[in-house]
Amino acid sequence: MRIDKWLWYARVTKSRSLAQKLISSRHVRANGDKITTPSKTVRVGDVLTIAQDRRVLVLKVAALGTRRGPFEEARKLYEDLSPPPPPRQVTPAQPALREAGAGRPTKRDRRKIDAFRSDN
C-alpha cells in the first residue's frame, strides 16, 4: 500500500494531500531511510518515524487497512513505539500583582488625559 494512503488511513494526517506534503518535505522515515515520494510502499512490520509539529511519532505498521474508519479502527493499524513526552514543569499560577490605582483609567481619568493632551 502507498505510504501516503496508509498515513491517511491511520489518521496521522487529516488528508492524503497533507500526507503527501509531509512525505515530500522529508519528515517521514521508513526503517531509518528517508522517504521522498508518496508512492513508496509500506508493508506490515515496517517502522515509520514521523516528525510532526513539536513531537516525533514512531509507529510500527501492524496492518494495512482497507478504508479510513473511526479512530478505534485506525488505532489497530499501528503499534505506537514513540517515546513518552518529557514531563512538564508546572509552576503554580499566581495572580498578577499591581499597585493600587495602576489599573485601567476611569472615565474621569481619561477625560483628564485627553484635556492634558489637547492643551499641548
- What is the per-residue pLDDT for 90? 80
Residue 10: all three cell numbers together: 491511520
DSSP letter for each residue of 14-42? SSHHHHHHHHHTT-EEETTEE---TT-B-
Domains annotated for the chain, with CATH where assigned, are 3-80 (3.10.290.10)
Alpha carbon distances (Å) from 51 to 5, 22, 39, 117? 17, 9, 19, 55
Residues of the chain above pLDDT 70, percent: 96
Q: How far is CA 38 from CA 19, 26, 55, in A?
A: 8, 10, 21
Q: What is the pLDDT of residue 17?
A: 95
Residue range 40-64, pLDDT digits in tens: 999 999 999 999 888 899 999 999 9
Band of residue 89 on the pLDDT scale cut at 50, 70, 90: confident
Reported as a pLDDT band with limits 50, 70 and 90, residue 26 is very high
Burial 53-82 (b: 16+ CB within 10 A, else e): eeeebebebeeebeeeeeeebbeebbeeee
Count helices and strands in the chain by DSSP H and E runs? 4, 5
Cα(55)–Cα(58) distance, integer angstroms:
10
How far is residue 56's CA from residue 34's CA, in Å, rounded to a whole number? 14
Q: Residue 102's pLDDT band (boundaries 50, 70, 90)?
A: confident
Asked if the model's pLDDT at residue 96 lies above 70, the reply is no
